[in-house]
Structure 1
Amino acid sequence: MADAVIVGAGHNGLVAANLLADAGWDVEVLEAQPEPGGAVRSDRGVHPDFVSDLCSAFYPLGVASPAIRALDLERHGLRWRHAPAVLAHPLPDGRCAVLERDPDATAAGLDALGAGDGEAWLRLCRAWDAMGEELVRALLGPFPPVRAAVPLAVSARRAGGLRVARDLLAPVRTLGEGEFDHPGGPLLLAGSALHTDMFPETTAGSVFGWLLAMLGHRHGWPVPEGGAGALTAALVRRLESRGGRVRCGVPVASVVVRDGRALGVRTADGEAVRAVKAVLADVSAPALYGGLVGWDDLPGTLRADMRRFHWDHATFKVDWALSGPIPWTSPGAARAGTVHLSPGLDAMTVYSAELATGRLPSEPFTILGQMTTADPARSPAGTESVWAYTHVPQRVKGDAGPDGLTGAWDERERDAMAARLENTVEVLAPGFRSLILNRRVTAPPDFREHNASLPNGALNGGTAMLHQQFVFRPVPGLGRPETPIARLYLASASAHPGGGVHGACGANAARAALAHASPTGRLLTPALNALARLLAP
């Protein structure tokens, strides 16, 4: 028995557990995997001397997130490490756009690629200076952002009002080509936007591109020293120091519901775990609704909505252990922790069109991480621990490339797709292949082995596009972590504000549980439930 039972020890579940423990609740976290962390884990599975991150790796949202910063994880062993440069986008002709921690240095580099673009970049930086921190608080806080709304409105007016709102809601191609005369700035913005499942032509893609780039200036894109698992370990240590418990290897089969209220959970081996005050589910919305909670306990409209739940793209990832640093033709790329690989903005659009039509990209836009460059503890001196991933369709209808891939992801198809990623690197860094000591291929079906909430590597817990954000996440309603079951809260990336390692989904669920358990919350709960039914009939 515990005050709160949390299903899933991903970072959102652990953030939620810490906040509840801070409030004096007795908290128990149940995790199906043999170790905690979900997508925030690392291992030595590629090579015994190399640390590789299983899924997520760089954490700009983690260091910017008010929820994670408030936990003061540095006191529990977490150490952040930074590469000399944040992000690079090398081009086939040897030029390279580089995002530095210093905005002026970034602007100077962009001016070297094309006169005048440096000042255009600094205009975007000034908009961030005026409203960026308030925007982060509004985006990562509870929805609707009642407390954050007024400061955000004041700061947005200072930054340019409706004009800056128009620019940030535009497709990232529109912003990039409208602000810059040369390719460097648009590539940095568009590549950052493509960390989600948005396309260069997607409405509001500019917000994501601008946000990640500006966070690079403000906070960097850091990594935990020793591997992604160090972030998870700090969360667990903090929780245990406050009396919380994490039990791994304990899959939950169902949430126990009686008279419309969550009473606890039942594990796969039949153990009943009572929750006196709340159950928080750090699982995907489709795994909760119709999975852990049967349809008989849920409204019929929710079943129809979940059939329309829109996953983000699948992912194909390769990890390498290299005998030396990648021999980039562009020196700027060697200094960056993250490197984006694509010949240009038009190639990104072609790649996106291929994804939209269900075809495996012929020239995949690739995100690459140079982990030893960011954290020397990741591999022996003089070597490099590297990963790269690209998005692929959730349902493969064909192959835009020459290999006739079908999405079966057998050994031949894994090797062929891995070769496409390696070709992408080799073009920009001749001799890359000769450095490979070992590699690990993670095809879309493999991601469920690491985290059941990542079907085929849907890293954002559902699309980041506007039709499934805010009041539409995960289904039309209040955009809050409350569910149709009293005392049951959705605490995963399927809830607002969505994907990314920021802990906000877990923090919002914990705050909701605390509010509903308070005397005032018990009085307001019926009214909130009625309002939710009104908005989502």
Structure 2
Amino acid sequence: MSYEFIVVGAGHNGLAAAVHLAAQGRKVLVIEARPEPGGAVKTQELTLPGYRHDLCAMNLSMFAGSAFCARYKDELGAHGLEFVPAQHCFASVFRDDSALGVGASLEETVSAIHALSPHDAVAWSQMVERFKDVAPYLFGLLGSPMPSWAAARTLFNAWRKQGTSGVYELIRLVLSSPRDFLDRHFENEKLKAMMAAWGLHVDFAPDAAGGALFPYLESMANQNFGMVIGKGGADTIIRAMTGLLKAKGGEIITGAPVRSITVSDGAARGVVLEDGRKFSASRAVIANLNPRLVFGGLLPAGSAPESFESKVKAFRPGPGAMMIHLATSGLPDWKAGAHLQKYAYVHVAPDLAMMSRVYAEAAAGLLPAEPVLVVGQPSALDPSRAPEGRHVLWVQVRVLPAQVKGDALSQIEGRDWDSCGQAYAERVLDLIEQYAPGIRGKILASHVMTPADLERENASLIGGDSLGGSHHLDQNFVFRPVAGYSRYRTPVKSLYLCGASTWPGAGTGAGSGFMLANMLAK
């Protein structure tokens, strides 16, 4: 069968591209290898019936604030899109059994910071106010192809409104490490740790250049706009997009792995499925996949120049992650206070020293002694995630090695995730127990996904990397995924890439899929 556009991979970026192209009257087919669409955005009953767990992504704030959602908000709503706002967004717990958090109330946040440092309370308030002026330009850059006249216009407008010094500060932010940025603005170590924890949601240890932007954006956006999760699960965005795609005449096939992308006369012409079915694309094939799966994988050998393929082969994954999903009889009893049960996220990352140590240990192939944890409490906001009076916990273990070479504590003997995953999950639960005593006694069932399990679930999560590749400066902006090919095209005519491996990178913002579709629709 023939289509104008074929999208390989039904993650949210691929679906965003397909929806927008179908909305322009294009004939679109989406093909997904797994039995259900969604990629890393799925919600499943992983532990017990009635307990709905977000497989990987939980925070949908980027999607809710995206240009794609703004364009199709009413139509997505008609197909079931629903968000649940978090009045208390994120918090960090510390070794002295205290905590610091950010919520919708600026007064509440500033009061908590003031108790630690009056200087920092003023600095935080000033940063929040300044963010209102800076945000349009930051989001303008993140929402523009890289490079593009749109990005250039955003910088020009920033210069007109903010002056040369304002543009310099913007560039300085983008290039700074988390530690340098935080030291420049604040004096209290707890506040710095609370913000720096966001760097390890990506792959930025405290001293990694280019790592300040994400902690700054997340902290300021949560303070100014709050956080949202999906009503009933993160898959609300996937169900809404697939419903809208079909309503606009698009088609989707699931449980259908692609064997190869067909190429003739130097251009992508369609795909062949593992079961032998063939589909042709008259306009383009869009691969919503890690580029390492496409070049040297789905494409015939020699389809792209050797120089390009070697650069794709060298495209580095970010650190691995582990997901631990818990069905529980109650929320954690945090030693830092019962108020923490209201927060969407609780970070267990008490200081910058341990964040640096975790990153170094993982980079050396070691199981970190004290892992960085993101403890999500979605059922505290959305009771529909679990039976009445029960809860689900979403525990993401950040910055782990893809290949295990040893254990930083010399306690776990396994040298691959299949043999040491459960033992390491016990270490994680022991750590949560330190900050929330009695949590083990509340666990009704658990489901552990090691970095190896994540890659088996989704081949694009290479080594358990949920980022689509490292976001360090040499793999970001115009260098993502390969310098000269940051605008989604490839050396193979009519073949395009989108997804987390392309600009603007990881997250649920659907940016690459929507920007690519806008370019192709013209």
Q: Do they superpose with TM above 0.5? A: yes
Aligned ranges 1:478-493 → 2 under 5 Å: 478-493=485-500
Distance in 2, Cα, partners of 1:283 & 1:486:
17
Shift in Å, 1:484: 0.9
Distance in 2, Cα, partners of 1:148 & 1:297:
31
Counterpart residue type for residue 15 of structure 1: A
Q: Does 1:508 align with 2:515?
A: yes
Distance in 2, Cα, partners of 1:407 & 1:113:
43
Q: Does 1:279 align with 2:289?
A: no
Counterpart residue type for residue 139 of structure 2: V
* Match in the other structure for 2:238: 232
Shift in Å, 1:183: 2.4
* Match in the other structure for 1:197: 203
Distance in 1, Cα, partners of 2:458 & 2:173:
36
Label 1:502 to 1:25 Cα distance change in 2 as closer, same or farther (>3 A): same
State the secondary structure of the residue aligned to 2:118. Answer: coil
Distance in 2, Cα, partners of 1:82 & 1:219:
10
Distance in 1, Cα, partners of 2:288 & 2:170:
35
State the secondary structure of the residue aligned to 1:165. Answer: helix
* Match in the other structure for 1:42: 43
Q: Which of residues 343, 356, 381 in structure 2 aligns to 1:336? A: 343
Q: CA RMSD in A?
A: 1.7
Q: Which moved more, 1:162-171 or 1:88-97?
A: 162-171
* Match in the other structure for 2:377: 370
Conserved 8 A contact 1:197-1:312: yes
Distance in 2, Cα, partners of 1:394 & 1:408:
9
* Match in the other structure for 1:529: none
Conserved 8 A contact 2:94-2:190: no
Q: Does 1:219 align with 2:225?
A: yes
Conserved 8 A contact 1:360-1:405: no
* Match in the other structure for 1:64: 65
* Match in the other structure for 1:116: 119
Q: Does 1:393 align with 2:401?
A: yes
Shift in Å, 1:221: 2.3
State the secondary structure of the residue aligned to 1:131. Answer: helix
1:38-90 CA-to-partner distances (Å, cap 9, x unmatched) read 11111112111211011111122112221233221223211111233000101
Q: Does 1:241 align with 2:247?
A: yes
1:354-384 CA-to-partner distances (Å, cap 9, x unmatched) read 1222211000011111010121111123222
Label 1:5 to 1:366 Cα distance change in 2 as closer, same or farther (>3 A): same
Q: Which moved more, 1:388-397 or 1:151-160?
A: 151-160
1:406-436 CA-to-partner distances (Å, cap 9, x unmatched) read 441235x222211111122111111111100
1:215-249 CA-to-partner distances (Å, cap 9, x unmatched) read 21233221110111221000101111101111101
Distance in 1, Cα, partners of 2:320 & 2:382:
28
Distance in 1, Cα, partners of 2:156 & 2:445:
51
State the secondary structure of the residue aligned to 1:198. Answer: coil
Shift in Å, 1:508: 2.4
Shift in Å, 1:333: 2.1
Distance in 2, Cα, partners of 1:121 & 1:173:
16
Shift in Å, 1:117: 1.3
Q: Which of residues 301, 308, 314 in structure 1 aligns to 2:320? A: 314
1:506-525 CA-to-partner distances (Å, cap 9, x unmatched) read 1122223223xxxxxxxxxx
The gaps in structure 2 that reach 5 residues or longer are none
* Match in the other structure for 1:138: 141
* Match in the other structure for 1:26: 27
State the secondary structure of the residue aligned to 2:426. Answer: helix
Distance in 2, Cα, partners of 1:149 & 1:125:
25
Aligned ranges 1:145-294 → 2 under 5 Å: 145-155=148-158, 158=162, 160-294=166-300
Distance in 2, Cα, partners of 1:420 & 1:111:
35
Q: TM-score, normalised by structure 2?
A: 0.95
Conserved 8 A contact 1:82-1:375: no
Aligned length: 514
* Match in the other structure for 1:525: none
1:320-359 CA-to-partner distances (Å, cap 9, x unmatched) read 0110111011224222101110231211111112122221
Which runs of at least 4 in structure 1 moved beyond 4 Å after TM superposition? none
Conserved 8 A contact 2:145-2:151: no
* Match in the other structure for 2:52: 51
Q: TM-score, normalised by structure 1?
A: 0.92
Conserved 8 A contact 1:482-1:509: no
1:484-508 CA-to-partner distances (Å, cap 9, x unmatched) read 1111110221111111111111112
Q: Which moved more, 1:337-346 or 1:99-108?
A: 99-108
Conserved 8 A contact 1:92-1:427: no
Shift in Å, 1:168: 4.5
Conserved 8 A contact 1:312-1:464: yes
Conserved 8 A contact 1:172-1:205: yes
Conserved 8 A contact 1:82-1:337: no
Distance in 1, Cα, partners of 2:427 & 2:208:
26
Conserved 8 A contact 1:30-1:248: yes
Counterpart residue type for residue 445 of structure 2: N
Q: Does 1:434 align with 2:434?
A: no
The gaps in structure 1 that reach 5 residues or longer are 516-537
Fraction of identical pairs, as percent: 32
Distance in 1, Cα, partners of 2:265 & 2:307:
19
Q: Which moved more, 1:384-393 or 1:177-186?
A: 177-186
Conserved 8 A contact 2:179-2:207: yes
